[in-house]
Amino acid sequence: MPDTALLVIDVQESFRHRPYWDEADLPRFRNRLQALIDGAVARNVPVVQVFHVEDAGPFAVASGHVRTLEPLRLAPDAVFHKRRHSALVGSGLEVWLNQHGITRLLVSGIRTEQCCETTTRHASDLGYAVDYVAEATLTFAMTDAAGRRWSADEIRARTELVLAGRFARIATVDQALAGPPARRAA
């Protein structure tokens, strides 16, 4: 898959220092993401790590928390820092992808409905083929303005619903690593 890259977005220790941090889904997420990373490496797919950075707090480089979420094992081919939700805004990532002939992206990371979804929509609009590997994303429960609490599973399902067939193929780790779906004859 020489035209493919794996994006590992915001999988960083910074999140452990947010009040909404919840480890309930962490073991499953780490397992699926590690399988995706290991599978990409075995197939010579470049692994690109993107960190979210801010000037202060746990997302500041000086905090020491802008590093890979432990105990994930990752030796990225390239590392980028971003200050926006999309990994493609102001990070230099798009230039790197173009320089390396990348036309297909595998999206993984934290948070499902924020930086992962935003990057997916942006990449699709730029013309990339995107596999959104939902099982290799992590999010946390949220409460809406009306007071309804949305579980992480509900948020993940909503994200899959709005991305599927419009901005991305929703793929399992195995599907993403198998390559793009076969094109049907007309």
Give how many domains the chain has, as a whole number.
Answer: 1
146-179 pLDDT per residue, tens:
999 999 999 999 999 999 999 999 999 999 999 8
Query: Is 172 part of any domain?
Result: yes
How would you label 2-23 residue by residue, b for 16+ Cβ within 10 Å and e otherwise? eebbbbbbbbbebbeeeeeeee
Query: Is 185 part of any domain?
Result: no
Query: Is 183 part of any domain?
Result: no
Q: What are phi and psi of 84, to 5 degrees?
A: -120, 175
Query: Is 186 part of any domain?
Result: no
Supply the pLDDT for residue 183. 56
Q: Is the pLDDT of residue 52 over 80?
A: yes
Query: Is 11 part of any domain?
Result: yes
Query: Is 161 part of any domain?
Result: yes
CA distance 96 to 14: 25
List the beta strands (DSSP E) in the chain.
4-9, 47-52, 78-82, 104-110, 129-138, 142-143, 149-150, 169-170
CA distance 134 to 112: 7
Is residue 79 packed enough to be buried (19+ CB in 10 Å), middle (13-18) or exposed (0-12)? middle
Q: Which residues pair with 9 in a beta bridge?
A: 50, 109
Provide mean pLDDT across the span 116-121.
Answer: 98
Query: Is 184 part of any domain?
Result: no
Find tokens 């007309």 and name the residue: 186
Query: Is 9 part of any domain?
Result: yes
| Global pTM exceeds 0.85 | yes
CATH code for the domain in which residue 18 is found = 3.40.50.850
Chain mean pLDDT for the chain: 95
125-139 pLDDT per residue, tens:
999 999 999 999 999
8 is in which domain, residue-wise?
4-178
Q: How far is CA 122 from CA 105, 140, 159, in A?
A: 12, 22, 14
Q: Which residues pair with 169 in a beta bridge?
A: 131
